[in-house]
Amino acid sequence: MLISRKRFLQISAGSIAGIALSNLWLPKLLSASNATNGKGRLPIIWFQAQACSGCPVSFINTEYPGVDEVLIEVIVLEYHPVIMGATGDLALSVIDRMIAEESGKYILVVDGSIPLEEDGLYCTVGEKDEKPITALEWINKISESALAVVAVGTCATWGGIPAAPPNPTGAVPASQVIKDKPIINIPGCPPHPDWMVGTIVNVLKYGIPELDSLGRPVMFFGPDKLIHDNCELRQYFDTGIFAMNFGEKGCLYELGCKGPVAHCDAATRGWNSGVNWCNRSGGPCIGCTEPFFPGGAGSGIYEKLPGAEVPGLAGINASANTVGMALGAAVVAGIGAHAAARVISTKYRQYKDEKNREKGTPYILKEKEEEEDK
Amino acid sequence: MAKQIVTVDPLTRIEGHLKIKVEVENGVVTNAFSSGEMFRGWEIILRDRSPLDAPPIAQRICGVCPMPHGTGAILALDDALNVKPPTNGRIIRNLMLAAEFIHSHLLHFYHLCALDFVDITAVLNYKGTDPKLNKVKDWIQADIDAGVASAGAPFLPRYEGDYIQDFDVNIQAIANYLKALEVRRKAHEMLAIFGGKMPHCQTLVPGGVATMLDIDKVIAFKSRLSEIRGFIDSQYIPDVVAVASLYPSYFKIGGGVGNFLSYGGFPVDEDGNRYYTSGVYLDGNLSDFDPKYVAEFVKYSKYSSGSGLYPLKGETVPDARKSDAYSWLKAPRYNGKVVEVGPLARAIITYLKGTDPDFKSLIDSALTALGLQPEDLISTMGRHAARALELKLLADKMDEWVNEIDPGKPVHTKFSIPMTSDGMGLTEASRGSLGHWISIDNWRIANYQAVVPTTWNGGPRDDSGNMGPYEKALIGAPVADVNNPIEVGRIIRSFDPCLACAVHIMEGDREILKFRVC
């Protein structure tokens, strides 16, 4: 089962590319499932490192199938620190049993980043001979015997907030610790329950879904899932109506929306049983599924896209419009964002010239500019 | 009998990484150590960022209770930016925070704590017609028959102990474990109606909320609230009473320090009056809360810096290998005293102050029904009871609040970020008193600090050796079988630990003296 990550991506992209699944695929998959009673279910060890538990809480928000159905029909949730009945050594003994008896058969799900500084002592779980065992040791040990690894949440996929500058604990994503196993990345802070449950069901029924170059399932994060292209506020953008303050109706671009560079299907799937999603609520997309989230020191989550400083893209801090383009292009690895960025830059220039005359500059920059005027 | 050391690590069915170590002599706990085992450095990460980043990033301190942290952050920013939310903004903030209480309290009782009391295997003898219960029964039975080692996972294996014997209570609780999964999901839907998504909502900003408000949202919220109130009244309260009445001894154990603190929360008017009253109950005396008495001690915490300082004056440097230190949590103290925060603290302070007649009469009737005295509330089961009763009243109150929304009016007051400013945001979280502090310099966050409920409750000993509330609550508790220390989990979980929140640090090398103390 030792294949390189690159080879893994090639295989999975090649073999499953034919299966294009719509938003409605999840119920179909479940009804197609005959799996019951431990046979045909996917054994899972869900391990938390530097996590906030937002990922498991989102996981149990799954509506169809409900979490009880998932536990009974789809997976065998062998270990999960937030849900499991067992505690202490009894809980950890489950992991030992899995490694001994189910080697190569289970999936390791990781949420949270993994701290490397201080030999990993910033996160410990359990102890042996009175000495703490680090999350790093656990993840190495559990992944060694795993069939595959699913990293859920932006911390486990890209590093997330714990890894944001100055990264006090040397936090890294799962892919920087686990080198020799296939890894599926399901980003999001937190991920939508359907992204997690859907990926797991897909692995069980059809094998590993098609992944993009960052290891994300294309069916949820593909190039056609650009928030900006699917946003119901897009009409406001196209007609140049921009919300200048929170709570106003209009495109949220001016309030820092990262929709033009963020990929996920939240806009069409909806959050929390579909009652709402980020931009519909009035709170701009913060790009929580992307490797640039939450940005570096000196940046701001609600700062307008052009001019945003992107960690990991060294040297890119050029003037307004080029950065928007570079950001989009780099983040999505050249899959169609050039067009979006170009649209933005022209639209935005036009719009800003007009707005500046009419309304003055947006609030965030206002004081700075006033100060500079003095 | 010789002293036995029992280590429970990880303590599961909580948020985060917690280790509890107890010394047991003759079946009784004589010493206890509570250790937070994870550190991320949130406050360091917030530094030099835009102040507007505080709500989305602070929320992500915890995925179980993001709303309280978001609320602490926006209150601190309101203060620093000198902006007041309009009435709609204030109400929607309250409703979102209250929806979080519903999700959190139901999750806590049914999905985190119930497995300490309820015998899940009772479902194997279920003879009724409920399809969900039959599905669970068939599932576990088939795995047992097949000899599968993981039969009943994740509910089994478990510590063996004195689980509920009453068949009907077990079945009712298991049915409601499943039902509560749906109900708390709906609480998140309620929150998402105004907040975009949960966990980690989108609309928390200083000056109010970013919600695009219309009447449909209010109606969608109300319809879910009415269903949830039905569940709380007809299922949650009776379930808590049923479990409590089967474990009367847990009204006598796990009491702990007996000192309580509440910051108060849920502003109900534009003058700053709050639905939850603030106060301190110290050594039998009730007094007003004053933040200047808060200090944090680090002798037994993994920080190599000054101790006994006001949170915002401390210079704090992490030291993973500090000798004698056994926790990433600090030990906050109020006027040098150990205090407990949370639903029980709110209940005790509200009860003694007499500010809410509804609350007092509800507590009194519950005490009468269970044949208890008020002091029995200071216990493991008292925490569950206080949590359930406060949720009932809060959900009722939400129905009043939601009717006060006027969809035609603004939800947000325009603000501007000053070059330099400080702010403090104090609120009540589902788990207790929560404070966020922010200092802004050059339009950026110069300093950020959060002092959270689980730091108060789960912290280690202070410099004088006084135990924290978790540790104190364990002293004297029975442990019938050191190989199955089920009692330890029951006592600690009654506090609703949330460890991701609790570990925090502030680098105090600059601007620290600028924080205004109330």
Both tokens of A334, joined, read 């050249």
Walk across the sheet containing B18-25 and list its strands. B4-8, B18-25, B28-36
Per-residue DSSP letters for B53-121? GHHHHHHTT-SSSHHHHHHHHHHHHHHHHT----HHHHHHHHHHHHHHHHHHHHIIIIIIIGGGTS-GG
On average, the pLDDT of chain B sits at 92
Which of B436, B453, B448, B419 has the alpha carbon at shortest distance from B344? Answer: B453
What is the predicted ipTM?
0.94
Of A123, A298, A301, which has the smallest distance from its Cβ to B52's Cβ?
Answer: A301
Q: How many CA atoms lie within 13 A of A121 on its CB side?
A: 13
Most confident option among A243-252, B38-47, B339-348: B339-348
**Residue A357 scores a pLDDT above 90:** no
Of A132, A246, A300, which has the smallest distance from its Cβ to B53's Cβ?
Answer: A300
State how far the Cα of B35 lies from the Cα of B20, in Å rounded to an integer.
6
Closest-CA distance, B364 to chain A, in angstroms, reads: 34
**Residue B165 scores a pLDDT above 70:** yes
pLDDT at A298: 62
Sign of the CA dihedral running A175, A177, A181, A184 = negative
Contact B7 A88 (CB under 8 A): yes
Amino acid B106 reads L
pLDDT at A340: 40
Closest-CA distance, A126 to chain B, in angstroms, reads: 5
DSSP A123: B
**Residue B462 scores a pLDDT above 50:** yes
Closest-CA distance, B60 to chain A, in angstroms, reads: 7
Q: Name the band, by pLDDT with cuts 50, 70 and 90, for residue A7.
A: very low
Summarised one tens digit per residue, pLDDT across range B249-269 is: 999 999 999 999 999 999 999
φ, ψ (nearest 5 deg) of residue A214: -100, 10
DSSP A207: S
Q: What percent of chain B lies above the pLDDT cut of 70?
A: 95
DSSP B2: -
Walk across the sheet containing A42-48 and list its strands. A75-79, A42-48, A107-111, A148-152, A183-186
| Chain A residues lying within 8 Å of B483, measured CB to CB | none
What is the average pLDDT across B430-452?
A: 91
Which of B211, B60, B64, B192 has the alpha carbon at shortest distance from A294? Answer: B60
**Residue B77 scores a pLDDT above 90:** yes
| Chain A residues lying within 8 Å of B205, measured CB to CB | 246, 283
Please report the number of interchain residue pairs, chain A to chain B, with beta-carbon separation below 8 angstroms: 317
Both tokens of A32, joined, read 């197609």
Q: Which residue in chain B has the smallest CA separation from A39?
A: B143
Cβ-based neighbours of B110, under 8 Å, separated by 6 or more: B173, B176, B177, B180, B181, B184, B239
Of the listed ranges A29-43, A77-91, B95-109, B252-266, the one predicted with least confidence? A29-43
Per-residue DSSP letters for B468-501? PHHHHHHTT-B-S-TTS-HHHHHHHHTT--BHHH
Contact A281 B320 (CB under 8 A): no
What residue has token string 């499932």? A33
3-state helix, strand, coil in chain B (%, to 5): 45, 15, 40
What is the average pLDDT across A143-162?
A: 96
| Chain B residues lying within 8 Å of A367, measured CB to CB | 416-419, 443
| Chain B residues lying within 8 Å of A61, measured CB to CB | 185, 188, 198
Question: Are B155 and B120 within 8 A, CB to CB?
Answer: yes
The count of other CB atoms within 10 Å of the CB of residue B229 is 17
Summarised one tens digit per residue, pLDDT across range A311-329 is: 333 333 333 333 333 344 3
Strands B18-25 and B28-36 come out as: antiparallel
Provide the 3-class DSSP secondary structure of residue B234: helix
Q: Name the band, by pLDDT with cuts 50, 70 and 90, for residue A18.
A: very low
Preceding omega of A223 cis (within 30 degrees of 0): no
pTM check: above 0.90:
no
Provide the 3-class DSSP secondary structure of residue A138: helix
Of A37, A85, A132, which has the smallest distance from its Cβ to B156's Cβ?
Answer: A85
Contact B60 A277 (CB under 8 A): no
Summarised one tens digit per residue, pLDDT across range B9-37 is: 999 999 999 999 999 999 999 999 999 99
Contact B196 A280 (CB under 8 A): yes
**Residue A367 scores a pLDDT above 70:** no
What is the average pLDDT across B478-500?
A: 95
Radius of gyration of chain B (CA): 23
Of residues B398 and A357, which shows the higher confidence score? B398
| Chain A residues lying within 8 Å of B53, measured CB to CB | 294, 300-302
**Residue B135 scores a pLDDT above 60:** yes
| Chain B residues lying within 8 Å of A125, measured CB to CB | 9-10, 17, 37
Which of A134, A140, A131 has the alpha carbon at shortest distance from A117? Answer: A134
State how far the Cα of B370 lies from the Cα of B377, in Å rounded to an integer.
11
pLDDT at B288: 96
Question: Are A55 and A191 within 8 A, CB to CB?
Answer: yes
State how far the Cα of B483 lies from the Cα of B343, in Å rounded to an integer.
31
**Angle B215-231/B380-403 helices, nearest 10 degrees?**
150
Contact B138 A266 (CB under 8 A): no
A137 burial class (0-12, 13-18, 19+ CB within 10 angstroms)? middle
Which of B280, B258, B264, B298 has the alpha carbon at shortest distance from B503? Answer: B298
Strands A107-111 and A42-48 come out as: parallel
Of B9, B52, B193, which has the smallest distance from its Cβ to A127's Cβ?
Answer: B9
Cβ-based neighbours of A163, under 8 Å, separated by 6 or more: A113, A155, A171, A172, A173
Summarised one tens digit per residue, pLDDT across range B314-334 is: 556 788 899 999 999 999 999
pLDDT at B271: 87
State how far the Cα of B390 lies from the Cα of B342, in Å rounded to an integer.
11
